[in-house]
A = this chain, B = another copy of it.
Amino acid sequence: MAEKVAEKSVDISPIQQFLYCGTPKAWLDHAVEELETLLIDHAHCEKKAAATAVKLMFRYPERLDLLKKLSQLIREEVLHFEQVLEFIEQQGIKYRAIKPSRYAASLHQYVAKDEPQRFIDGLIIGGIIEARSCERFHALVPYLKDSHPELAKYYRFLLKSESRHFMDYIDLAKQYAGSDIDERLDFFLQKEQELIESPDPLFRFHSGVPV
């Protein structure tokens, strides 16, 4: 019973159904061998997520509901950033600037040039990135729980807020689009699947199959 409750609290099936593929096993096997890079890149991603949400706040400065959602999201992302930094220090890892993954930039190259589609695309990509992060945290837990129980526990904790962020972004995209976003969502989810399932020489939190 207790196990069922615990399972329910980290139910990510809506996210697994949303994304077009799971994280390849080859990436997970590699991740535990490159935990230092994983953590440093994770910290960068949290910082980047906050910066992206800040940028979106300035795009529609009169939409109170949007501003409030983004504001809460920023608070959570920077808090996670601080928490990941703490892990990095605890592990004796030297935090440093590293080259970002191809992932976010590759998705952003397809963003529409004109508003309002540009804004909607930004929200869709935000949602997809949050969903993938969530799926990867979940997939990493069994790989980390023996060697790094604290990190496994933390990633399990992150699932909850990241899954809310995913829904927030997708809900906002639907709301601001005023029409169906299914086609656009399908387009970006296909591109995302390609990035996750194709060979990627640079190992990062959102990278493809290690080569």
Q: Are A54 and B50 in contact (CB under 8 A)?
A: yes
**How far, in Å, is A129 (CB) from chain B's closest CB?**
17
Known A-B contacts A78-B75, A79-B75, A82-B68; the reply to A95 vs B51 at CB < 8 A is no
Name A51's contact: one of B44, B54, B81 (CB within 8 Å).
B54
A54 and B81 CA atoms in complex are apart in Å by 12
Tell me whether A113 is interfacial, beta carbon within 8 Å.
Answer: no
Name A85's contact: one of B47, B68, B74, B89 (CB within 8 Å).
B68
Tell me whether A97 is interfacial, beta carbon within 8 Å.
Answer: yes
Tell me whether A57 is interfacial, beta carbon within 8 Å.
Answer: yes
The quantity of this chain's copies bound in the complex is 2
A54 and B72 CA atoms in complex are apart in Å by 15
**How far, in Å, is A198 (CB) from chain B's closest CB?**
28
Tell me whether A115 is interfacial, beta carbon within 8 Å.
Answer: no
Tell me whether A61 is interfacial, beta carbon within 8 Å.
Answer: yes
What residues on B are CB-neighbors of A62 within 8 Å? Answer: 95-97
**How far, in Å, is A125 (CB) from chain B's closest CB?**
19
Q: What are 11 contact pairs spanning A and B, CB under 8 A?
A: A44-B61, A47-B57, A47-B58, A51-B58, A62-B96, A64-B89, A68-B85, A71-B79, A74-B74, A74-B78, A75-B75
